[in-house]
Amino acid sequence: MSIPFIDLKSQQSRIRDKVEAGFAAVLDHGAYIMGPEVGALEARLADWSGAKHNIACSSGTDALLLALSGLGLQPGDGVIVPSFTFAASAEVMPVMGAVPVFAEVEHDSFNLDPNKLDAAMDSARKAGIKVVGIIGVGLFGQPANYPAIMDFAAHHDLWVIDDAAQSFGASWHGTSVGQLAHVTCTSFFPAKPLGCYGDGGAVFTDDDKIAEIIRSCRVHGMGKTKYDNIRIGMTGRLDTMQAVVLDAKLDIFADELTARQTVADRYAAMLGNMVEIPSLSAGATSSWAQYSVKLPAGSDRDAICARLGEAGVPTAIYYPIPMHQQPPYQHYPVSADGLAVTHDLCARVMALPMHPYLTEDAQHIIASELRKVL
């Protein structure tokens, strides 16, 4: 018997009736894309986060592209981004002809290190790249230290995007994700803490002008009407069925976040003497998208994962190769200080099953199998 890595089935049983009724309503009214449920969802997401504007869109990656459009990113501009992240955080710059500048992360939080941003600026300067902004990532569910990042940005006249694909639902000293940076982006890919049953995403901002540009870019740079094209945009809309799913999932989201914290607390008690467990920065909460432990240095991680798999305990490695070492990214600037922490994390992280429905019994099995293997 195998323990699921994530469990969308248990979750579905809680929301199925509401989802089916919502799907039936969409089949009746027939507004499949950007129907009235999408506007209602945007209002609910804005309310949840405290951000003034929410713009729902087609994926987390498209949310980043729309945010960069709203901020006026130009070809050749540099954007600081951690190398220890999912591809999409860095990919959106080359897609727009701009340049990712890879920066270092903190060992404990896995997130952009505010004290190493200067070194990234240095390497960009040496490469003749003008840095215009920073994309921070709330990796595995915990926000980066945005007050410090925003402070650095203010000194250098940069904007800041929070890539909160994994960290929507979390907070920093009481401030919700959605309000920590100039623009926040999230993903509703099914496996994310708040996921739909297809692709989806959203952008949050308090800035009226940026929100207006993003709404326009979402529909091919539309002006007053659909066939009035005042800027270059894209197809970035959310479909109505996904809004129905997200509305149902938002009903139980707070409860699920509490359950994820309980699961994380139990892991901490069971695993703390075997591996380095993830820790929260002071004042931070996490939406626990992943539970990533650090194996002891020199461990044979592939063998450990294989043996856990045989014992019915699935694992995943987020992320085995840093972005600056992926072939299409190797020519972009890398922090002048080097990325030693990033390399160490890529070599040692291992993610264990994490979802709100993980039972204490299942966690005991996971802990005891890990103990045997180590």
Ligand X SMILES: *Cc1c(COP(=O)(O)O)cnc(C)c1O
Enumerate binding residues for ligand X (CB under 6 A): 59-61, 85-86, 88-89, 137, 163, 165-166, 187, 189, 199, 201
Nearer to ligand X, 242 or 363 (CB): 242
Nearer to ligand X, 166 or 286 (CB): 166
Least distance from C-beta 325 to ligand X, angstroms? 18
**What sign does the CA torsion over 114, 186, 59, 160 have?**
negative
Whole-angstrom distance, CA of residue 165 vs CA of residue 141: 8
Least distance from C-beta 89 to ligand X, angstroms? 5
Least distance from C-beta 87 to ligand X, angstroms? 8
Cβ-proximal residues to 12 (8 Å cutoff; 6+ apart), any chain = 19
Whole-angstrom distance, CA of residue 236 vs CA of residue 200: 9
3-class DSSP state of 10: helix
What does each C-alpha distance from 138 to 181, 280, 284 come to in angstroms? 12, 12, 11
- Which residues pair with residue 78 across a beta bridge? 99, 131
Nearer to ligand X, 238 or 370 (CB): 238
Active-site residue (options: 9, 126, 192, 249) = 192
- Asked if 192 is an active-site residue, the reply is yes
Nearer to ligand X, 150 or 202 (CB): 202
Nearer to ligand X, 48 or 110 (CB): 110
Least distance from C-beta 41 to ligand X, angstroms? 16
**Burial label, 183 (beta-carbon count in 10 A; 0-12, 13-18, 19+):** buried
Ramachandran angles phi, psi of 322, nearest 5°: -65, 155
Ranges assigned E (strand) in the chain: 53-57, 78-82, 99-103, 131-137, 159-163, 171-172, 175-176, 183-187, 201-205, 291-294, 349-352
Closest residue by Cα to residue 210 from 272, 161, 249:
161
**Residues acting as catalytic residues:** 192
